[in-house]
Amino acid sequence: MYRINWLRARAKKSRWEEESLLIPMEMNWTVNFFMRKAKEWQDLETGSLTKGPRAYASKQCAMWRQLAERASVLFNDCRVNYSVTSA
């Protein structure tokens, strides 16, 4: 009985350790994805010849940049408030 509980506790600890490594990486991946999308729309904006598509691309570029900035701020606040300590 004790061995089963010990194995469960060890598995749970292992999962938490993995999560503590993955979550900061996922935060960075999210910000990088938003910035990549902003860059794609910026490239479309510069390549457009007419005003309509250029205006739409500009709006999309601004939206993705704002998402990246907001995510970065929130993730940094989260890192400060909830630091992960290893046992």
Domain assignment present for residue 25? The answer is: no
Domain assignment present for residue 26? The answer is: no
- Give 52's pLDDT tier (boundaries 50, 70, 90): very high
Domain assignment present for residue 46? The answer is: yes
Domain assignment present for residue 43? The answer is: yes
Query: Looking at residues 50-64, what average pLDDT do you find?
Result: 96
- Give 81's pLDDT tier (boundaries 50, 70, 90): confident
| Res. 84: pLDDT tops 70 | no
Residue 67 belongs to domain spanning:
37-78
- Give 8's pLDDT tier (boundaries 50, 70, 90): very high
Contacts of 45 (CB under 8 A, 6+ apart): 54, 57, 58, 61
Domain assignment present for residue 58? The answer is: yes
Q: What does pLDDT average to over the chain?
A: 91
Which parts of 1-87 fold into alpha helices (H)?
2-47, 51-81
Query: Looking at residues 16-42, what average pLDDT do you find?
Result: 95
Tell me what pLDDT residue 30 has. Answer: 97
What is the DSSP-derived secondary structure letter of residue 33?
Answer: H
Task: Measure CA 9 to chain center.
Answer: 29
Q: Give the sign of the dihedral formed by CA 64, CA 66, CA 69, CA 73.
A: negative
Domain assignment present for residue 31? The answer is: no
- What is the count of structural domains for the chain? 1
| Res. 87: pLDDT tops 80 | no
Domain assignment present for residue 4? The answer is: no
Domain assignment present for residue 9? The answer is: no
